[in-house]
Amino acid sequence: MAAKRFTIAIVGALSLLLATPFASLAISQEKKESPGLSEVLTDLLQGAGGEDTTAGPDRRVPFGRDEMQLSYAPLVKQTAPAVVNVYASQTARVRSPFDGDPFFEQFFGRSMPRSQSSLGSGVLVDEAGFIVTNFHVIKDADEVKVAMSDGREFASKVLLKDESLDLAVLRIESDKPFPTIGIGDSDALQVGDLVLAIGNPFGVGQTTTSGIVSALARSHIGISDSGFFIQTDAAINPGNSGGGLINMGGQLVGINTAIYSRSGGSIGIGFAIPSNMVRAFVEAAKAGRDFFERPYIGATFDVITPQIAESLGMETPYGALVSAVETDGPSEQAGLKPGDVVLTFNGARIEGVDALGYRLATQPIGTQAELGVLSKGEEKKVDIALTRAPEGASVTQMQLRGRSPFAGAKVADLSPRLAQRLGMSADTKGVAVVEVDRNSPAGGFGLRPGDIVREVNGQTIDSARKLSDASQQNARWWRFTIERDGQLMRQVLRY
């Protein structure tokens, strides 16, 4: 019976709280010794066996009608001017089956160039005009324009882009400084934190939505090669790509990138690239890098499965299993061996291989990191140097010529550094296509930067010189094997 009376008392207290104007509940300065409203509510909840919801000064549930009427408007007013619309256009020529035939061209004409465009968002992160957006927003664009929320438009220059991270940095210029949003610490986010998503969905104009952080460190969601995303239920729709995910302090904590949806509209599952990755990418752009370099440690890693974890005596499967170590590389010098497990990186728990890759990518080259390692059943700490990927024995790029499907392509022997530039694993070996002239035979046959040529007319290709010699053959039939994104493709062409 006593428990029932106590429950009623709490409900009554909450009802009084919600029904009474906030002003009438305020405690005057003359009565400082009287307990405040929050203290009374806390004591009641603790007495009922509940948790202390006011333990943290920055995170607590709202109580009181006046607090429920608070607005995000001041935060939006502060941050929205720094979120821009990004318009990317590309002139594409669609080939006609009659192109090249004078008889049919006089009746049907030649195919005409067609303009393709895409719409996205971006965030100004520096008053000098540096803008962060998604790679897929400006991919293959011939022209990129930026529209401010105040109506101004600017032509922009693409300073740096990376398809594997789905990030790009643009630059616009003006005599006056631009409004900006400061880059916050995405590692400080917790599930349940309030966030705002600002962008230009469906091209209707700048739009702000609110939500919470639904999950952290999401991976294997098919957005890009990066496997470390913030998940939010703040509504994100087409056109929001490249927009900002803002915390309650007005800081950028993520770049909105994609949604999970079967209809094309938001169903409350959106993903953003963490701001710590964005910060590292912007710094590389400001430094004038031609590609985003990740620190090199000279090791490859595999996933820890439940079976592997059990065999290693681990209670739960987490971390990254060292599968191979490069001779004289930073990992070997730090004492890492195949079979070791990396458990932490600078104190942060490593859930898997993707998490380790993310942590590495956010660190500056030339520094050191502390790894927590499980080796032969014992945990230890090791320091490892984060170095620049080596160039390899040959850095020469060769322009292929002759009458072959490879004419117009520039190729080179893969080194760890070149592999990084092309978005590959640093331990990838072979001869890679570095550049392709669109109007060349190689461009016409569909060769792409990043393709690895494995075989030509029965000859194994293990050097750029050998591929150059093979492309000089006077052959009518060409049989070759290309590796693209880990898949082998065999082609037979009459040329």
- Domain check: are 83 and 201 in the same one? yes
Q: Which residues are catalytic?
A: 136, 166, 241
358 belongs to a structural domain: yes
- Domain check: are 265 and 312 in the same one? no
Return d(Cα 120, Cα 133) in angstroms, integer.
Answer: 8
What is the tally of structural domains in the chain? Answer: 4
- Domain check: are 373 and 431 in the same one? no
- Domain check: are 140 and 197 in the same one? yes
- Mode of pairing for the β-strands spanning 157-162 and 229-232: unpaired
CA atoms within 13 A on the CB side of 125: 31
Q: In what order do the strands lie in the sheet with 130-133?
A: 153-155, 143-147, 83-93, 113-126, 130-133, 167-171, 157-162
- Domain check: are 366 and 404 in the same one? no
Partners of residue 324 on adjacent β-strands: 300
Return d(Cα 269, Cα 234) in angstroms, integer.
Answer: 8
What's 333's domain CATH number?
A: 2.30.42.10
- Domain check: are 113 and 135 in the same one? yes
Return d(Cα 479, Cα 470) in angstroms, integer.
Answer: 11
- Domain check: are 19 and 158 in the same one? no
Determine the structural domain holding residue 309 and report its residue range. 299-385
- Domain check: are 156 and 269 in the same one? yes
As a three-state string, the secondary structure of 72-139 is CHHHHHHHHHHEEEEEEEEEEECCCCCCCCHHHHHHHCCCCEEEEEEEEEEEEEECCCEEEECHHHHC
197 belongs to a structural domain: yes
Which domain-ending residue is among 385, 411, 428? 385
Return d(Cα 55, Cα 370) in angstroms, integer.
Answer: 32
- Domain check: are 187 and 254 in the same one? yes
What's 130's domain CATH number?
A: 2.40.10.120
The whole-number pLDDT of residue 102 equals 53
The whole-number pLDDT of residue 116 equals 58
Q: Which two tokens stand for residue 6?
A: 């106590």
342 belongs to a structural domain: yes
The whole-number pLDDT of residue 92 equals 55
Query: What residues of the chain score a pLDDT lower than 70?
Result: 1-58, 68, 91-118, 202-203, 219-227, 259-268, 392-395
480 belongs to a structural domain: yes
pLDDT in tens, 380-414: 999 999 999 988 666 678 999 888 889 999 999 99
- Domain check: are 27 and 104 in the same one? no
303 belongs to a structural domain: yes
Q: If 0-12 CB within 10 Å is exposed, 13-18 middle and 19+ buried, where does residue 312 land?
A: middle
Which domain-ending residue is among 271, 291, 311? 291
CA atoms within 13 A on the CB side of 21: 2
| Closest among 391, 376, 295 to 336, alpha carbons compared | 376
Q: Are 400 and 410 in contact (CB under 8 A)?
A: yes
Residues whose CB is less than 8 angstroms from the CB of residue 356 and which lie 6 or more positions away in sequence, other chains included:
301, 320, 342, 345, 350
The whole-number pLDDT of residue 401 equals 86
| Closest among 366, 322, 365 to 343, alpha carbons compared | 322
Partners of residue 305 on adjacent β-strands: none
- Domain check: are 359 and 472 in the same one? no
Q: Is the pTM of this model over 0.85?
A: no
- Domain check: are 23 and 146 in the same one? no
pLDDT in tens, 31-57: 344 444 445 444 544 444 444 444 445
Which domain-ending residue is among 251, 275, 291? 291
